[in-house]
C-alpha cells in the first residue's frame, strides 16, 4: 500500500460521559475511495472532522503529508459573509486552481452563481458547498452526506464527477447505490473502534453480519465457560490452594470480559399502526393539471392507485412531486381534471420539510399529542418512554424540545409520530433523509410488510428498487408517466434516468463565466482504428474481469478460507482489488469512446 496522505492513529474522544471514539484509525492513500459507515451517533462525522483538522481529539495522532490538500464538506455548510454563491465557491480556490471550474460546477449542480446565500434552501446550500470543495480538485475529499437533499439528476452527475477525479475520497452517506458504485474500501466505526476491509461498500454488509454473528457465538462460548468455571469453584477439588487461586483469577477475568463487552448499538424497532382496510380503489385521477406562475407543473395526468400498491414518485427538484402528491391525496384541488378518492381512507403523512413538528414542543408531547404519558398503537396502550426507546431515544430526552434535536433525530420523531397513527395509506415525502443504513433497512421492511397503500417520494435509487411496484417520473413540461417496477426497471424501460431541469444563466453573464469546454471533447473527426478496436474488444475484456472477480469473491466469501491459508487469502484479495481497478479503468475508457462515437455520428 502507498504511503498515506492522511493518517489518524489511536484516536480517542470522550463526549460527556460517553467514550465516542476509542483507538480509532484512518489511513487515506492516493486514489483511495473509502466508505465510512456506522450507526447514527457512532462518531462518523466526528472522525471526519478530526481528519479535516477541525476537531482536536483527546488522544491519538493526526498526520497529513506536507503539501497535501484537503477539502471537507460538512452536513450543514455555512455561506454567511458572501454576496453570491459564485463568490463563496471562488473563495475556496487557490492560486494554481482553474478559475473557470467554479462557474462550471455551479451550473452542473443546478445553480447560476448569482444566488444570494441568505435565500438558499438547504439543498441549494449543499450544492454550493459541493462546488466549493470540488473546484480545487484536492488530494483528499472528505464528504459528509453529500447526497442529502439532492435530486436524482444531481446525485448521478456527482457520482460520475467523483469517479473522474484523481482525489482520494472518504465518504459518509446513507445512499447504498452511491456508496456501492464509488468505494473500494470500507471503514466501519463500531462501539468506538474502527475496522477496515479492502472491499467497497457492496461487500460490507455481508461481512459485517458475519462478524456480528461470530461475535455473538464467542460471547455464547464465554458464557458457557463461566458456567463451567463456577461449577468447578463450587464442586471441584479444593486441596491445591494455588491452583484454586489461579482458577478464581480466571473466573474473575472472564466475568470482567462480560462486563466490559459492549454489544452492537441499539436498533430502531418500527411498528406501524394500521387502520381498517380501505376500499379496493384508493385514488383515481383523470386528466389532472396544475399551473403555477404560467409554468405547467402537471399536465393532463391520469392514474389509478389500487389497495396495496407501492407507488414511487421521482423527478428533479422543482418538478412538482409534492404538488402531485397533494392533488392525488385530495389536499390540493387541480386546475382541471378530477380526483376520486376511495372509501375508508386513513392517511398518515410524513412531509418533506417536517412541518408538522412544533420546535417548541417536547418529544413526549409530539408523540402523545400532549397531556398524556401513553399512546395507543394497534389497539394496545404503550408508554411513551418505551415507544421512544424503539426509535433510539433515551428517557432523558422525553422533555427535550424538538427544535434542539439533530436532523436525523427529527426525522426519527416524524417517523415515530406518523407510524403511531392508524392508517391504511402511508404518504412518505423524502423519508430517507438523515437516516442511517440500519434504520433504512427497517423502514424498507416496514413498508414491505405494510398491509395498506404506500406513496413515496425519494431520490434513493436502492430504496425505490426495494419497495416500489411502480414509478411515476417527471418527463418535463408538466408531463408525468408511470412505469411498472422499481427505479432500475423504469430506467430500463425509459432508456435513461431522471433528467435535470435546465438552469438559466444570469443575464449579462461575461464570457469568462461561461461553462468551459471540457478538454476531453474532441473536434469532429472519425474514430481511429485503435479507438474502433478498443470499442469492439473492451466489452469482452470487461466481461472477463467480472467473471474473474465473481470467482475471487466466491473464494473470499468462504469463512474458513483465511484460517486455511492466510497467504492465499491475501493474494486473492490483492487480485480482486487489481481486477476491480482494471474493470473501472476499462469501463471509463469504453464510456469515453462510446460518448465520442455518438458525438461523431451526430
Q: What is the pLDDT of residues 494-545, one digit of tens each?
A: 888 887 765 545 444 444 344 443 333 334 456 777 777 887 888 888 888 8
Residue 444 C-alpha cell reads as 424498507
The CATH number for 81's domain is 3.40.50.300
User: Same domain, yes or no, for 172 and 253?
Assistant: no
Apex 474 CA angle, 107 and 597, nearest 5: 60
- Whether pLDDT at 178 is above 90: yes
Residue 533 sits in a domain whose CATH number is 1.10.287.380
Provide the number of structural domains found in the chain. Answer: 4
| Shared domain check, 254 and 164 | no
Residues 66 and 105 in one domain: yes
User: Is pLDDT at 273 greater than 80 in this prediction?
Assistant: no
56 and 91 part of one domain: yes
Nearest-angstrom CA–CA distance, 328 and 472: 12
Residues 295 and 417 in one domain: yes
Residue 506 within a domain: no
373 with 242, same domain: the answer is: no
In a shared domain, residues 179 and 126: yes
> Do 247 and 305 fall within a single domain?
no
Output Rg (C-alpha) for the chain, integer angstroms: 27
| pTM for the structure as a whole | 0.67
Domain that holds residue 104: 6-206
Work out the average pLDDT over 310-330. Answer: 90
**CA separation (Å) from 597 to 71, 290, 345, 525, 590?**
35, 41, 53, 10, 10
Whole-number percent of the chain with pLDDT over 70: 82
Question: Helical H runs in 117-240?
Answer: 122-134, 152-164, 176-182, 204-235
Mean pLDDT calculated for residue range 15-20: 77
- Place 104 in a pLDDT band, splitting at 50, 70 and 90: very high
Percent of the chain with pLDDT over 90: 34
**pLDDT category of residue 249 using cuts at 50, 70 and 90:** low
Burial class (CB in 10 A: 0-12, 13-18, 19+), 471: buried
Residue 266 lies in a domain: no
In a domain, 275, yes or no: no
The answer to whether 329 and 284 have CB atoms below 8 angstroms apart is no
Chain centroid offset of residue 142 CA: 15
Q: Which of 408, 419, 416 is nearest to 454 (CA)?
A: 419
What is the pLDDT of the chain when averaged over all its residues? 82
* CB-CB contact of 45 with 144 (8 Å): yes
Confidence of residue 602 (pLDDT cuts 50, 70, 90): low
Amino acid at each position: 500500500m502507498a504511503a498515506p496522505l492522511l493518517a489518524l492513529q489511536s484516536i480517542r474522544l470522550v463526549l460527556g460521559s460517553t467514550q465516542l471514539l476509542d483507538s480509532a484509525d484512518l489511513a487515506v492513500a492516493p486514489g483511495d475511495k473509502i466508505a465510512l459507515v456506522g450507526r447514527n451517533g457512532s462518531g462518523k462525522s466526528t472522525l471526519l472532522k478530526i481528519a479535516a483538522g477541525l476537531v482536536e481529539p483527546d488522544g491519538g495522532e493526526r498526520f497529513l503529508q506536507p503539501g497535501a490538500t484537503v477539502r471537507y464538506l460538512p452536513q450543514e455548510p455555512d455561506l454567511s459573509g458572501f454576496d453570491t454563491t459564485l463568490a463563496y465557491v471562488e473563495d475556496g480556490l487557490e492560486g494554481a486552481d482553474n478559475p473557470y471550474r467554479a462557474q462550471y460546477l455551479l451550473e452542473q449542480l443546478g445553480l447560476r452563481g448569482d444566488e444570494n446565500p441568505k435565500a438558499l434552501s438547504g439543498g441549494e446550500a449543499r450544492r454550493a458547498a459541493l462546488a466549493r470543495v470540488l473546484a480545487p480538485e484536492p488530494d483528499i475529499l472528505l464528504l459528509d452526506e453529500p447526497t442529502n437533499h439532492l435530486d436524482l439528476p444531481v446525485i448521478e452527475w456527482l457520482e460520475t464527477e467523483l469517479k473522474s477525479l484523481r482525489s482520494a475520497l472518504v465518504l459518509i452517506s446513507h445512499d447504498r447505490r452511491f456508496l456501492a458504485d464509488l468505494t473500494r474500501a470500507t471503514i466501519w466505526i463500531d462501539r468506538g473502534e474502527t475496522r477496515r476491509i479492502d472491499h467497497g461498500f457492496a461487500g460490507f454488509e455481508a461481512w459485517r453480519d458475519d462478524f456480528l454473528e461470530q461475535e455473538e457465538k464467542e460471547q455464547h462460548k464465554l458464557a458457557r465457560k463461566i458456567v463451567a468455571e463456577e461449577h468447578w469453584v463450587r464442586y471441584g477439588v479444593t486441596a491445591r490452594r494455588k491452583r484454586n487461586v489461579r482458577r478464581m483469577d480466571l473466573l474473575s477475568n472472564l466475568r470482567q470480559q462480560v462486563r466490559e463487552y459492549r454489544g452492537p448499538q441499539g436498533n430502531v424497532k418500527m411498528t406501524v399502526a394500521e387502520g381498517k382496510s380501505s376500499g379496493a380503489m384508493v385514488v383515481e385521477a383523470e386528466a389532472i393539471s396544475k399551473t403555477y406562475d404560467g409554468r405547467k407543473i402537471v399536465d393532463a395526468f391520469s392514474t389509478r392507485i389500487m389497495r396495496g400498491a407501492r407507488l414511487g414518485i421521482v423527478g428533479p427538484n422543482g418538478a412538482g412531486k409534492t404538488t402531485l402528491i397533494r392533488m392525488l391525496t385530495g389536499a390540493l384541488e387541480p386546475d382541471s381534471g378530477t380526483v376520486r378518492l376511495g372509501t375508508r381512507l386513513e392517511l398518515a403523512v410524513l412531509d418533506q420539510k417536517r412541518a408538522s413538528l412544533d420546535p417548541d414542543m417536547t418529544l413526549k408531547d409530539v408523540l402523545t399529542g400532549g397531556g398524556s404519558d401513553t399512546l395507543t398503537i394497534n389497539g394496545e396502550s404503550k408508554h411513551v418512554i418505551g415507544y421512544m426507546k424503539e426509535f433510539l431515544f433515551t428517557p432523558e430526552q422525553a422533555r427535550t424540545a424538538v427544535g434542539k434535536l439533530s436532523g436525523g433525530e427529527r426525522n426519527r420523531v416524524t417517523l415515530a409520530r406518523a407510524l403511531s397513527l392508524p392508517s391504511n395509506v402511508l404518504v412518505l415525502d423524502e423519508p430517507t433523509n438523515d437516516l442511517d443504513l440500519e434504520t433504512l433497512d427497517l423502514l424498507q421492511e416496514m413498508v414491505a410488510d405494510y398491509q395498506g397503500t404506500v406513496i413515496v417520494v425519494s431520490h434513493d435509487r436502492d430504496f425505490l428498487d426495494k419497495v416500489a411496484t411502480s414509478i411515476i417520473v417527471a418527463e418535463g413540461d408538466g408531463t408525468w408517466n408511470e412505469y411498472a417496477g422499481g427505479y432500475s426497471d423504469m430506467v430500463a424501460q425509459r432508456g435513461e434516468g431522471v433528467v435535470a431541469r435546465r438552469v438559466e444563466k444570469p443575464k449579462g453573464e461575461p464570457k469568462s463565466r461561461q461553462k468551459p469546454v471540457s478538454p476531453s471533447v474532441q473536434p469532429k473527426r472519425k474514430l481511429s482504428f485503435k479507438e474502433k478496436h478498443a470499442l469492439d474488444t473492451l466489452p469482452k475484456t470487461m466481461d472477463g474481469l467480472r467473471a474473474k472477480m465473481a470467482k475471487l469473491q466466491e473464494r473470499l466469501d468462504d469463512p474458513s478460507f483465511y484460517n486455511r491459508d492466510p497467504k492465499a487469502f491475501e493474494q486473492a484479495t490483492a487480485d480482486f482489488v487489481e481486477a476491480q481497478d482494471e474493470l473501472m479503468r476499462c469501463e471509463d475508457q469504453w464510456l469515453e469512446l462510446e460518448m465520442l462515437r455518438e458525438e461523431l455520428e451526430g
